[in-house]
């Protein structure tokens, strides 16, 4: 899926929306950071990222992070895996505001991605995490027998939050 980006400026904030795959064909946008102190990147529509895409991301995001605070929102599982595995994927000062957590119900064979907002569904206190979510309600499931459970290893998946 072809990578696309869209940008809008709101006062001293630049909003970027990325979609598609981050790979060898990705060309990240040139960004004008004049008068901008915050860059909000919406990753909701990113479908995949490969090793060449990771290198491109690092080359693009580092100089941006030196000039503005980066906030990442709506981060899919593919990006969260990189947060945890690749040193420097989240440059110093980068804040992850929201990310998806995969859930699965064996009874009804349902998969669901639930959006966690830092400070709401997940609260970080040093190295301690508190999860405040009813996955069934958050996913919109109406099946009375549904037993959605987190489909990741909590200690590994949320690791990036403990480093921030």
* Cα–Cα distance list, 26 to 22, 67, 89, 102 (Å): 6, 22, 16, 26
Tokens of 35: 């008068």
Instruction: Assess contact for 83 and 96: CB atoms under 8 A.
Output: yes
Q: What is 1-96's CATH number?
A: 3.30.750.24
Task: Give this prediction's pTM.
Answer: 0.93
pLDDT in tens, the chain (164 residues): 899 999 999 999 999 999 999 999 999 999 989 899 999 999 999 999 999 999 999 999 999 999 999 999 999 999 999 999 999 999 999 999 999 999 998 888 888 999 999 999 999 888 788 999 877 776 777 777 778 889 999 989 999 998 75
Domain ranges of the chain: 1-96, 101-164
């Amino acid at each position: 899926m072809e990578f696309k980006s869209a940008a809008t400026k709101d006062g001293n904030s630049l909003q970027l929306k990325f979609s598609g795959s981050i790979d060898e064909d990705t060309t990240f946008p040139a960004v004008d950071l004049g008068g901008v102190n915050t860059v909000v990147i919406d990753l909701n529509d990113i479908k995949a990222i490969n090793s060449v895409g990771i290198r491109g991301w690092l080359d693009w995001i580092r100089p941006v992070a030196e000039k503005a605070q980066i906030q990442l929102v709506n981060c899919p599982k593919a990006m969260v895996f990189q947060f945890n595995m690749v040193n420097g994927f989240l440059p110093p000062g980068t804040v992850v505001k929201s990310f998806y957590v995969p859930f699965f119900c064996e009874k009804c064979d349902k998969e669901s991605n639930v959006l966690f907002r830092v400070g709401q569904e997940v609260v970080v206190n040093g190295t301690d995490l508190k999860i405040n979510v009813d996955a069934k309600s958050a996913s919109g499931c109406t099946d009375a027998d549904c037993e959605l459970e987190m489909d990741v290893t909590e200690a590994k998946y949320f690791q990036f939050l403990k480093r921030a």
